[in-house]
Amino acid sequence: MLSLGLDIGGSKTEALVLDSAGQEVFRRRYATVKDDLGSFLERIVFVIDDVRAALGAGFTIGVCMPGVIVTETGNVKNSNILVLNGQPFPAMLENACGRKVAFANDGNCFALSEAIDGAGREYAVVFGLTLGTGCGGGVVFRRTMHNGRNCCAGEWGHASLPRYTPEKDGPAELCYCGQYNCSELFLSGTGLARRFQLRFGRALTAPEIFAEYTRGDADARRHIELYQDQLARALADVVNLLDPDVFVIGGGLSSLPFLYDGMSERIAAYVFGRSSTTPVVPARHGGASGVRGAAWLGSGIVSPLSSPPVCDNVGKR
């Protein structure tokens, strides 16, 4: 059976079809149309019809989309595609397609993809985390997505930075979520760059900071060393709470080697008992993990443990 995954973003929608062995049989990108709800829905239906016409065969459908789908109402909220907010888009799409569609967030889809046939495929409990514009994440138990009662499983980026002190980490900061010192403010790519500018008065992007680091720049080295320590603290708390078998990292920062150099040892320094052997590895499928996870979810091979796969993290790409 073929499985279609749709990764709906603010500017593009990616369609990917996998066969039952996880081999890619179709991939195409489309511009996301978001002028109004009607045109948005029409565009997504067009994408599905276009894939069907190209393949001449049936398929299941899984969708990775921004925003939160309120379980009680089925309506979308907090989406950066504004026309979706307050609207029952999942039900609308199912009605338009005349079939069941599975929905999940990008962090969960990423983790699911890597757990099934990616860097976490040999492990029972996979914690997938994305480091990009924001910090997303997902938890997979034995190839089964876990959302949690409140659809918050894997939201490590909105836990406060562990062991925060202003002397070590800099001034406190208010997150858009309404809480102070969320780990995302320090560990996302934008957070890394913002805190570097705040600390040293130099406006550089995260890749530029790393380039300066490799050239031996003193400020960049100090900041990357702090970043490594902050990331270790955040992941150590995940070990203390969940103790996953592996951390798989994706997102825009995932190719930077300083995320992995000695990270397991740094994590161990903050874990209860000061011992941890949890590997930290880069994603196998990279930017394709989200759409692959959506395809796997729609296939019915996997299903959530405790609640419908209807929650999403806004802007965690």
Which domains does the chain carry? Answer: 2-105+288-299 (3.30.420.40), 108-283 (3.30.420.40)
**pLDDT of the chain along its 317 residues, tens only?**
899 999 998 889 999 999 999 999 999 999 999 999 999 999 999 999 999 999 988 999 999 987 777 778 888 887 878 899 999 999 999 999 999 999 888 888 999 999 999 999 999 999 999 998 889 899 999 999 898 877 788 989 999 999 999 999 999 999 988 999 999 999 999 999 999 999 999 999 999 999 999 999 999 999 999 999 999 999 999 999 999 999 999 999 999 998 998 999 999 999 999 999 999 999 999 889 999 999 999 887 654 443 333 333 333 33
Cβ count near 32 (within 10 Å): 17
Neighbour tally for 119: CB within 10 Å: 23
Residues β-bridged to residue 24: 18
Q: Name the DSSP class of 157.
A: G
Distance (Å, whole) CA 234 – CA 244: 14
Q: Tell the residue number behind the tokens 């979810």, with chain if given.
A: 297
SS3 of 256-309: CHHHCCCHHHHHHCCCCCCCCCCCEEECCCHHHHHHHHHHHHHHCCCCCCCCCC
Maximum separation of any 2 CA atoms in the chain, in Å = 62
Instruction: Tell me how far apart the alpha carbons of residues 122 and 116 are, in angstroms, rounded to a whole number.
Output: 9
pTM: 0.88
Return the amino acid letter for 207: P
Tokens 């900071």 sit at which residue? 209
Q: What are the CA-CA distances from residue 100 to residues 50, 51, 298, 312 (Å)?
A: 18, 17, 9, 19
Report the alpha-carbon distance of residue 148 to residue 92 in Å, rounded. 25
